[in-house]
Amino acid sequence: MPEIPRIAGCYCQTMQNYIGYRKSYGISRKTVEEYKHRFQHFLSYLEDNGIYDIHLISQQLLINYANQLGFCTPYIRHRNLSVIKRYLRYLYDQGLTDIDCSRMVPKDKFVKQPHLPSTYTKEEVEALIKAIDRSSPKGKRDYAMILITARLGLRATDVCCLTFDSIQWEQSLIVLNQQKTGERIEFPLLSEIGEAIIDYLKYGRPKSDLPYIFLKANYPYDRLNRSTLHSIVCLYLRRAGIQYDPYPF
């Protein structure tokens, strides 16, 4: 596997160390290659600006870098900034910098819905589902939510926003307005999904007047959000022994 070009020695070593740190969390080879590509881009930028010392990173330098990415697609810009932000946080956590420069990285408004990546095989998805312990209230909730995501492909936000009115039991349908587009869509209420929802409502859902089906397992029993669902999916991916990128977005 090719190494990161040593165009900036001190940076290069810390970037290699950071990639090794992330690999310990089970990220895929594809993600490792992506990190190397994005680091190469950032290293070229640092070299062009004569920056060879990590202590010379400034807010203005990072703002200019973000502006330079304005010619990229929103997703590429988001990924580059995300990777660099986590790398800078790593430097601070390791005591290599006195200032947390990750806080200086400009924010962007790119939003990508967490979902079960289509690159997972059918066998891996089934292993993920089987890894859920359905004996607890939380397990019953997680099982129903992941089953809906896996079988119907609903966006995480839409799953979290499902209300009692979304389930049309007599017609065996799930009906909702997509959070992203506002478009009304219908999905078949598969028997295994219906049974999982009923099991959660009867034996897992805390008492609440909120209209949302899925709630937090601990008080206060608020509605879940998409990032929480992403964390839930990652938990069971680990239990199933399936490799994944813990920060895919």
Residue pLDDT, tens place only, 47-73: 888 888 888 889 999 998 888 887 677
In this structure, whether the domain defined by 9-104 belongs to CATH 1.10.150.130 is answered with: yes
Q: What would the two tokens of residue 62 be?
A: 């990072």
Nearest Cα to 83, choosing from 119, 36, 45?
36
**What's the whole-number mean pLDDT along residues 71-91?**
86
186 touches 232 (CB < 8 A): no
Domains in the chain: boundaries: 9-104, 122-239
47: three-class secondary structure by DSSP: helix
Mean pLDDT of the chain: 85
79 vs 136, more confident: 136
Find the range with the poorest average confidence among 50-59, 92-101, 185-194.
50-59
Query: Which DSSP letter does residue 117 get?
Result: -
114 vs 136, more confident: 136
pLDDT at position 4 over 50: no
Nearest Cα to 115, choosing from 143, 162, 155?
155
**Per-residue CA distances from 1 to 4, 11, 30, 189 (Å):** 10, 19, 11, 46
H-only helix segments in the chain: 9-23, 29-48, 59-68, 74-93, 122-130, 137-152, 156-160, 191-203, 226-239
**What's the whole-number mean pLDDT along residues 65-88?**
85
209 touches 140 (CB < 8 A): no
Q: What is the rounded distance in angstroms from the CA atom of residue 14 to the CA atom of residue 17? A: 5
Q: Which residues of 125-164 are buried (b: 16+ CB within 10 A; e: fewer)?
A: bebbbebbebeeebbbbbbbbbbbbbbbebbbbbbbbbee
Q: What would the two tokens of residue 213 be?
A: 């089906």
pLDDT at position 215 over 50: yes
**The 184-188 sheet, strands edge to edge:** 167-168, 173-177, 184-188
Q: What is the rounded distance in angstroms from the CA atom of residue 7 to the CA atom of residue 72? A: 23
Number of helices and strands (H, E) in the chain? 9, 3
pLDDT at position 11 over 80: no
Q: pLDDT value at position 56?
A: 87
Q: pLDDT value at position 24?
A: 86
Q: What is the rounded distance in angstroms from the CA atom of residue 116 to the CA atom of residue 32? A: 20
pTM of this prediction exceeds 0.85: no
Q: pLDDT value at position 248?
A: 44
Topology, domain 122-239: hpI Integrase; Chain A (1.10.443)
